[in-house]
A and B are shown apart, each in its own frame.
Chain A
Amino acid sequence: METQIALEEQMKLSSKIVNDFSITVATVNGSGSQTSNSAILRAIFKMGIPVSGKNIFPSNIQGLPTWYTIRVNKDGFVARKKEADILIAMNPATFSEDLESLVPGGAFFYADDIRLSITRDDVVAYPMPVKQLIRQVDIPSYLRDYVANMVYVGILAQMIGIDLEKIRQALEFHFKGKAKPVEINFGVVSLAAAWARENLEKKDPYLLEPMDATAGLILTDGNTAAALGAIYGGVQFVSWYPITPATSLAENLQQYLPKLRKDPQTGKNTYVVVQAEDELAAIGMAIGAGWGGLRAMSSTSGPGLSLMTEYLGLGYFSEVPVVVWDVQRVGPSTGLPTRTAQGDLTFVAFMGHGDTQNIILMPGSVNECFEFAWKAFDLAEQFQTPVIVLSDLDFGMNQWMGKPFEYPDQPMNRGKVLWEEDLEKLEGKWARYRDVDDDGIPYRTLIGNRHPKAAYFTRGTGHDEYANYSEEPEDWHALLNRLKKKFETLKPYLPQPVEERMEGAKINLLSFGSTEPAIQEARALLQKEGIATDFTRIRSFPFTDRVKEICSRYERNYVIEMNRDGQLHQLLRMYYPEIASKMISYAYTDGLPLTAKQIIDFVLSEER
């Protein structure tokens, strides 16, 4: 009796909560819940309500617990929220823990064959007869396990108001229009929704109402965006080795290239994808292809990048264009393969022995994953050096809203390449490593050039302007300093920081990569607390001059990032020691994407 009263009190307090809550689905890894969760997510998106989906999964094929979190927010704040308002409990192993994680007044949907007691009286519990409902479906028994998760889709849809037609459309997207699986899965959804309509009484406050906030937007993940961006950037050679969370980038290339990049007349391929034997070979092939004049790339994560370091150092030194995506996971070492972080920044910046520097692009949205994917090739070829694109697992494998991908607004920049007719004009007089234009960028020739003076010998050893072996102190000094000059030349060509101002702001929140949604939400909430903030998102390294100008304006720049040591903070203080005292580090890593609350708590603790 007491329970009932407590609950009714909660309900009165909260009444209706529309389009502002989070859903966590707790399942067993490998049970096929991906389809169900994607269907819920995309259906809500199709209802016009801002949404994001994040998979918190284990490094395991089958059996360990996995959670899928969906954030619904009418104001567009879709960063991770720690608290679950609605929890769908399908995994007996985490049942009690999941129940504990629910907010007071939250909704707890659970598979009724889990024989564990509901130990909280401040939540609404809905049993779901998953096994019983699935038995009523007329499908072969071996398919039953696969579609069982559709039961919670149907029940949830009924209880919070997801439009069933949108679920059908989401399934059509998921199964790429294949009628049979759509029909089977949707059949289960409809059955479960009908059961809920008859048998469950709505007691929780969470409801969805259609909006118009996602019209024209797309919902996708960063690895898909990166693969497509690379294709529209004219990628010609991909060599890769499977590693979480970068695998789906290469797999998306394999999926889309055959559709988009066959010669229309002959049907022959204008691209190559090689799954190499390891990362050492993947990068060796990509460097070879880049040297040969192909737009070459690889995709990997921290451990793979460690293996690629030696060849990338050769690429920097012998001036070979290549693009490598580092979809960051948690390091050091094997770390947490299925969790996210931004811990590779300082490593990538100077990756390689000796005096080495690398161009880094840091996308901050799925749109920038697309855009930087094609731009990276232009930069690599223009400056004849490796370009590393720093993404992360949160981007790479989770679902983000974005604007439609924009077609490249610039023609390809293939850099300074001399072909046969160019060499004829020069009467064969050229030198591979000569700084002709006083910008540090030499000219190169490509294999297959039939001019008798085209060839040169590329090496990782000391060389003179003609690429001949040299141990002369003057040659070495000149070469290293020309490379440095090249890196000065390239700075203005790199993406500038994104800047956002707020009336009366005296402090700046500064970041890179995937943390923007949490920061934007924090800024809105801090403003309510009377603290106005400006926002800066750095998008490239080496830093452009603009970064220093921005940071100099504020007494306090909060450098927010997902690693232990505050790596962006370290780099900024190293490059701009004169304003180092204006930099405050907020660095936090636990494998999960940042939340607005973490940022607010830190900023308030400093500002008050």
Chain B
Amino acid sequence: MSNGVSHTDVKVVVNAVGLTKADYRGNPSTLCQGCGHNSISSQIIAACYELNLLPEEIVKFSGIGCSSKSPFYFLSRSFGFNGLHGRMPSLATGALFADHTLRGIGVSGDGDTASIGMGQFKHLLRRNMRLVYIVENNGVYGLTKGQFSATADQGLELKSHGINPYMPIDIAWEALVGHATFVARSFAGDPKQVKELIKAALNHNGVAVLDIISPCVTFNNVDHATHSYAWGKEHETALHELSYVPRAEEILLEYDEGEVREVELHDGSMIVLKKLGQDYDPTNREAAMKVLEESNRCHCLITGLIYIDPNQPSMWDIYQLTETPLNRLREDQLRPSRETLAELNRVFQA
């Protein structure tokens, strides 16, 4: 071998289910270079790989827009459905009923969620469908070349559209008010936090909303805008440093007593939150509202797990389905017997 490395020495690194990281990749991205969305796709890949999830056990969903193209750029071995603008929640809800053993990842954007999709977004939260709902939030319409979205800052000035006169919609706030059982905010420029939040979200028994500020390098990377890299780096205040710990793993992280808060998920896994200055309790909805309101007032970007309620019943708990996935039931399990129809006919007869 010319490079001096013998063939047998090449080590293929695999995870506990025998897959390489490449098995989690998607097709090459056609989004802009430096787009925050690509960074989030990478963290989805890393999270699934590190959690030892089989790609075949994940289903990807999206609506319409730049963000919604991204599921094609990760997890090629997972089924995906790129649906209609703002109506991915309904699509995902119906599809996931086909096989309750699967986990859903939905990727949306601020245009997709905060405008046409607001209704379905809110109703998804009410039902607590088991779905990771990521909003790649850049405050701007990219594919149609740079119009203000509903999450754009009031007073933001963009090249061809002047100054935005309207108040922004806050996705995390809407999620919290809408009774989401997992609400997080992160920043595409903070990959470690994004990854840990995705891991925790994937193991949450219900809907998990991740509002990820994901700068648009082409149309909205004005330094003073809250959806830019510069502003995000400058203003990010993490509520805590967090790690997701699967049930099987021992907690190896060492923190001084009194600095750590653990939240147990339904399957026994843990989210470990390391205190950063402030003493924040993410299971307290009132406190979560307060912290969001304060961050808006002081114009800073609060990131981390804002709220979690691991105990609410999910849609699976409510619907009581057969253990066999519905899409594998046989005809004799789906068509009632001849005798039952004869009985019904007797009731309607003269």
Contact = CB atoms under 8 A, between A and B. Distances in A.
A391 B119 CA distance: 30
Contacts of A456: 79-80
B328 A448 contact: yes
B98 A292 contact: yes
B45 interface: no
Given A405-B344, A452-B77, A236 B102 contact: no
Contacts of B59: 447
A293 B76 contact: no
Given A232-B341, A272-B319, A281-B89, A287 B94 contact: yes
A31 B349 CA distance: 28
B2 interface: no
A36 interface: no
Contacts of A33: none
A292 B101 contact: no
Nearest to A469: B72
Of B27, B89, B95, chain A has the most CB atoms within 10 Å of the CB of B95
A15 interface: no
Interface in B299-333: 319-323, 325-329, 331, 333
Interface string B50-79: 000011110110000000000110001111
A275 B314 CA distance: 16
B350 A289 contact: no
Interface string A234-274: 10110100000000000000000000110100101110101
B84 interface: yes
A261 B348 CA distance: 20
B97 A218 contact: no
A276 interface: yes
B236 interface: no
A268 B334 contact: no
A493 interface: no
A530 interface: no
A448 B87 contact: no
Contacts of A219: 348, 350
B338 interface: yes
Contacts of A173: 347
Given A234-B335, A292-B94, A270 B322 contact: yes
Nearest to B93: A285
Given A268-B322, A278-B119, A456-B79, A412 B335 contact: yes
B102 A448 contact: yes
A233 B333 CA distance: 11
Interface in B98-122: 98-99, 101-102, 119-120
A443 to B, nearest CB: 15
Given A281-B87, A448-B98, A455 B80 contact: yes
Contacts of B246: none
Contact of B78 (A237, A266, A455, A461): A455
A177 B122 CA distance: 42
B212 interface: no
Nearest to A239: B94
Contacts of B27: 468
A228 interface: yes
Given A272-B97, A292-B99, A412-B334, A285 B350 contact: no
B327 A455 contact: no
Given A452-B56, A458-B82, A269 B350 contact: no
Nearest to A292: B98
Contact of A270 (B55, B79, B334, B349): B334
Nearest to B319: A272
A576 interface: no
A287 B322 contact: no
Given A48-B350, A284-B87, A458-B80, A289 B95 contact: yes
B336 A261 contact: yes
Interface stretch (A62-70, A73-81, A90-98, A209-217): A209-217
Given A270-B333, A412-B335, A455 B95 contact: no
A450 B347 CA distance: 45
A310 B84 contact: yes
Contact of A280 (B87, B95, B97): B87
Given A288-B93, A447-B79, A295 B348 contact: no
Contact of A284 (B80, B91, B319, B331): B91
B60 to A, nearest CB: 8
Interface in A6-25: none
Given A272-B97, A280-B90, A281-B87, A292 B338 contact: no
Interface residues of A, number: 75
A34 interface: no
B84 A447 contact: no
A454 B78 CA distance: 8
A234 B330 CA distance: 10
A458 B92 CA distance: 13
A267 to B, nearest CB: 8
A448 B77 contact: no
A360 B84 CA distance: 24
Contacts of A45: 350
Given A272-B321, A278-B119, A281-B123, A287 B326 contact: no
Nearest to A419: B328
Nearest to A447: B79
A294 interface: yes
A449 interface: yes
A288 B96 CA distance: 8
Contact of B55 (A263, A283, A310, A455): A455
B333 A458 contact: no
A231 B71 CA distance: 35
A284 B83 contact: yes
A284 B320 contact: no
A215 B97 CA distance: 43
B327 A216 contact: no
A294 B325 CA distance: 10
Contacts of A457: 60, 71-72, 79-82
Contacts of B54: 450
A49 to B, nearest CB: 9
A263 B326 CA distance: 11
A537 interface: no
B144 interface: no
B345 interface: yes
16 contacts: A260-B340, A266-B323, A270-B334, A288-B92, A289-B94, A289-B95, A292-B95, A292-B96, A294-B327, A314-B83, A411-B331, A446-B98, A451-B56, A454-B56, A457-B72, A461-B82
Interface of B: 27, 54-57, 59-60, 71-72, 76-84, 87, 89-99, 101-102, 119-120, 123, 319-323, 325-329, 331, 333-336, 338, 340-342, 344-345, 347-350
Give 8 closest A-B pairs by Cβ, nearest first. Answer: A292-B98, A284-B90, A288-B94, A234-B334, A285-B94, A293-B327, A448-B99, A288-B95
Given A292-B327, A447-B59, A457-B79, 17 more contacts: A237-B326, A260-B336, A263-B322, A281-B87, A281-B93, A284-B91, A288-B91, A288-B93, A289-B98, A292-B94, A294-B327, A311-B84, A314-B83, A445-B79, A450-B54, A456-B80, A460-B84
